[in-house]
């Protein structure tokens, strides 16, 4: 083969390879990443959005769309999301969808921060008063403190709206007066940029749209023929987001208390203790995302102490009843004064109280029945047997005999926990004991 032909063939291969690489690069960049932000705005959701925007930047995506449907959330997490959007190197579109969705409270700030703000038909935006945006402060704040928070939020949202040429007056009213707007009202009032019935329609409307980035550079979106890449939460993010719900937090806390109590009632079962311990750590993680009242935590701790004390005292349910009462009031106080989205559903607390009460009633019933069953084998067999003092006999206390707790009365003196005593007689469920060896 002549040398000239070989050269031409080589050039042809190089040109074909270059074209192929160019086509692949164009295909890679002709992509729009879509994030799905549905639910309360909290640190897990903020981390997910940050990861999604970073991924869009690294992969040179055309844009990053955040499909938003939120009742609001934590102020700190909202500000984290706003900063991620404002500082993004790729255009970020916030799309309140699907129909029936809303961008309430903290969601208003997120929507206003977008380079392009869009809403689906039959959606709403507004009611951004900061008291409803998961205030991490006290439930009851002074008028002066509330005024400071409101002024700060109003200035923040005006700044966000001004940066994108949106209606600053309405944005401030959303904070100060909790006003809201439908998608058509929002479009007319220059709160959003467009209304799109679905994602494909939104992508089509974005084609040719010019976006001004933070560095004042203008980017013209070329969305024609772009592929949609849905970036979902990872399995771990899904799990952490699920347990950050106040309903789940309360249930986990209850399971922790119940599991540990059952383990103490029945030492050696292992599974209830392990399950309760894991639930306790998950509950602590979940409550860390929620604005809570620490007086409620104190009452719940007291409830746990009373339930555990039931194991070591022959109260036959009195301490357990007090523990359940303290638990219910603890849960009620835990979220008192907090925004509705940070409170458990009304049915959760009664259901938990009834469930724990039923389990403890079952355990206590069998403990009492075991005590009474002793008489059917002949209480006379107790006479002369040894028992170990559990609660000091002064002269009345508690002793343990063959794994069973008894109320006991010492004939004279005192007996410390751990000492051995001799059973001399019985009267119903009460034993009479002595430290003297019987002849």
Domain spans in the chain, listed from the N-terminal domain onward: 3-233, 245-376, 380-434
Residue ranges of the alpha helices (H) in 124-217? 143-163, 168-176, 183-188, 199-206
pLDDT at 381 over 60: yes
Could you tell me the sign of the dihedral formed by the alpha carbons of 287, 288, 292, 296, in that order?
A: positive
Is residue 207 classed exposed, middle or buried when 0-12, 13-18 and 19+ CB atoms within 10 A define those classes?
middle
Whether residue 342 contacts residue 288, with contact meaning beta carbons closer than 8 Å, is answered with: no
Query: How much is the mean pLDDT over the chain?
Result: 83
Q: DSSP secondary structure string, 339-359?
A: -GGGS--TTHHHHHHHHHHHH
> In whole angstroms, how far apart are CA 319 and each of 84, 233, 310, 332?
52, 45, 5, 20
CB 67 within 8 A of CB 93: no
The helix (run of H) or strand (run of E) holding residue 218 is: strand 218-220
pLDDT tops 70 at residue 13:
no
Q: Reply yes or no on whether 83 is catalytic.
A: no
Strands 31-38 and 430-434: unpaired
Higher pLDDT, 2 or 225: 225
Q: What is the pLDDT of residue 22?
A: 46
Q: Which of 148, 188, 232, 436 is catalytic?
A: 148
pLDDT tens by residue, 113-162: 999 999 999 999 999 887 655 544 444 566 787 788 899 999 999 999 99
Among 57, 35, 61, 58, CA closest to 46: 35
Pairing type for strands 124-126 and 180-182 reads: antiparallel
- Band the pLDDT of 28: cuts 50, 70, 90: very low
Residue 372 has a pLDDT of 54
DSSP state letter for 391: E
pLDDT at 361: 73
CATH top-level class of 380-434? mainly beta
The mean pLDDT value for 297-302 works out to 85
Give the separation between CA 152 and CA 158, rounded to whole angstroms.
Answer: 10
Cis peptide before 229 (omega within 30 of 0): no
Mean pLDDT: which of 16-30, 217-231, 279-293, 349-363 is highest?
A: 217-231
Confidence of residue 3 (pLDDT cuts 50, 70, 90): low
Least confident stretch, 71-80, 105-114, 217-226, 382-391: 382-391
> Among 8, 331, 63, 412, which Cα is nearest to 205's?
63
- pLDDT class for 258, splitting at 50, 70, 90? confident
Predicted confidence at residue 23, as pLDDT, reads: 42
Please report the pLDDT score of residue 320 as a whole number: 76
pLDDT of residue 185: 96
Give 253 or 168, the one with higher predicted confidence. 168
Model pLDDT, residue 201: 96
Return the half-sphere exposure (C-beta side, CA atoms, 13 A cut-off) of residue 366.
9
pLDDT value of position 222:
93
Per-residue model confidence (pLDDT) at position 141: 60
Angle at 239 between CA 238 and CA 244, to 5 degrees: 100
Please, which pLDDT band fits residue 245 given cuts at 50, 70 and 90?
confident
Task: Out of 77, 97, 105, 279, pick the active-site residue.
Answer: 105
In whole angstroms, give the CA distance from residue 148 to residue 158: 15
Mean pLDDT of 360-382: 60
Q: Is 414 a catalytic residue?
A: no
For residues 132 and 342, give the distance between their C-alpha atoms in angstroms, rounded to a whole number: 10
Find the angle CA(98)-CA(104)-CA(105) to the nearest 5 degrees.
Answer: 155
In 3-state terms, what secondary structure has residue 413? coil
User: Left, alpha or beta for 403 (phi > 0: left; psi -120 to 50: alpha)?
Assistant: left
For residue range 171-200, what is the model confidence (pLDDT) as tens digits? 999 999 999 999 999 999 999 999 999 999
pLDDT at 315: 55
**According to the model, what pLDDT value does residue 139 have?**
47
Confidence at 405, pLDDT banded by 50, 70, 90: confident
Peptide bond into 98 cis (omega under 30): yes
Report, in angstroms and rounded to the nearest whole number, the Rg of the chain calculated over CA atoms: 33
- As a CATH number, domain 3-233 is 3.90.226.10
- Confidence bin at 58 (pLDDT 50/70/90): very high
Query: Which residues on adjacent β-strands are paired with residue 119?
Result: 96, 195
154-170: b (≥16 Cβ within 10 Å) or e: bebbbebbeebebbbeb
Within 10 angstroms of residue 427's Cβ, the number of other Cβ atoms is 9
Residues 6+ apart with CB under 8 A from 408: 387, 389, 393, 396, 397, 398, 399, 421, 430, 431, 432, 433
What average pLDDT does this structure show over 377-404? Answer: 79
Q: How far is CA 247 from the centre of its chain?
A: 8
């Amino acid at each position: 083969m002549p040398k000239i032909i070989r050269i031409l063939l080589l050039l042809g291969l190089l040109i074909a390879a270059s074209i192929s690489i160019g086509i692949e690069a164009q295909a890679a960049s002709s992509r729009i990443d879509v994030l799905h932000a549905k639910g309360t705005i909290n640190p897990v959701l903020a981390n997910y959005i940050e990861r999604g925007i970073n991924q869009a930047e690294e992969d040179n995506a055309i844009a990053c769309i955040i499909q938003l449907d939120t009742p609001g959330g934590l102020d700190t997490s909202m500000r984290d999301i706003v900063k991620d959007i404002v500082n993004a190197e790729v255009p970020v579109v916030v799309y309140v969808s699907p129909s029936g969705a809303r961008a309430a409270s903290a969601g208003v700030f997120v929507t206003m921060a977008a380079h392009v703000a869009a809403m689906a038909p039959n959606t709403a935006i507004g009611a951004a008063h900061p008291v409803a945006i998961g205030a991490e402060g006290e439930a009851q704040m002074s008028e002066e403190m509330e005024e400071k928070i409101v002024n700060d939020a109003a200035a923040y949202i005006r700044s966000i709206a001004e940066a994108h040429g949106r209606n600053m007056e309405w944005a401030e009213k959303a904070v100060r007066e909790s006003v809201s707007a439908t998608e058509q009202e929002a479009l007319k009032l220059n709160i959003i940029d467009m209304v799109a019935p679905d994602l494909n329609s939104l992508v089509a409307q974005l084609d040719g749209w010019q976006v001004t980035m933070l560095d004042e550079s203008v980017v013209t979106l070329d969305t024609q023929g772009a592929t949609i890449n849905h970036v979902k939460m990872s399995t771990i993010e899904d799990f952490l987001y699920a347990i950050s719900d106040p309903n789940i937090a309360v249930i986990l806390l209850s399971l922790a208390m119940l599991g540990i109590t059952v383990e103490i009632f029945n030492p050696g079962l292992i599974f209830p203790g392990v399950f309760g311990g894991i639930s306790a750590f998950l509950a602590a993680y979940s409550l860390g995302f929620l604005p809570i009242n620490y007086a409620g935590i104190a009452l719940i701790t007291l409830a746990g102490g009373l339930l555990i004390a039931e194991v070591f005292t022959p109260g036959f349910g009195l301490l357990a009843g007090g523990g359940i009462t303290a638990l219910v009031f603890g849960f009620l106080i835990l979220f008192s004064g907090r925004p509705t989205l940070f409170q458990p559903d009304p049915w959760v607390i009664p259901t938990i109280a009834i469930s724990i009460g039923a389990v403890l009633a079952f355990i206590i019933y069998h403990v009492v029945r075991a005590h009474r069953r002793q008489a059917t084998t002949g209480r006379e067999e107790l006479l002369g047997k040894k028992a170990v003092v559990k609660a000091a006999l002064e002269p009345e206390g508690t002793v343990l005999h063959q794994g069973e707790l008894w109320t006991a009365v010492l004939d004279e003196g005192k007996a410390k926990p751990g000492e051995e005593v001799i059973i001399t007689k019985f009267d119903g469920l009460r034993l009479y004991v002595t430290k003297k060896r019987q002849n």
